Amino acid sequence: PFLGICFGAQLATVAFAREVMGWKGANSTEIDASTPWPVVDLLPEQKAIKEVGGTMRLGGHEVILLEGKLRTAYGRDRIVERFRHRYHIIREYAERMEGAGYRVTAVDPSGEIINAFEVEGHPYFVGVQFHPEFKSRPGRPSPTYVSFMEVVKGI
């Protein structure tokens, strides 16, 4: 089982693009600004910012859960999770990868920002842009972690 959080989700997307799609050199522009396949790039509102202190997409934001493991885990289609990022998975590339098993499973209310994905046909391969650890508490772990651990426990 795999659970990628924030940068982990972004790097899993890069790996999928390279290994499954065959997009040699796919990367995040945070790592390689001249990548031929920029599957992860700055959020649109971040592109004009030159002084980056305190400018991330931070705090609680609404997440729309589409059909998938996270929607099952949370038992609803709208949640609020906490974020801390400047870069995101680019929808155009995610849509191109969908035919190969990459499936977007959560977005922001505009539908433009990808907040989670999973890989079809895998027992548990989930990437989330949000930080479920920020809302987990002793005795009340995030449903993201609970669903992941249930799969791990069953192996």
Residues involved in catalysis: 6, 131, 133
Amino acid at 122: H
Number of neighbouring beta carbons within 10 Å of residue 142: 21
Long-range contacts of 133-141 (CB under 8 A, 24+ apart): 133/5, 134/81, 134/82, 135/81, 135/82
Closest CA to 70 of 35, 106, 103: 106
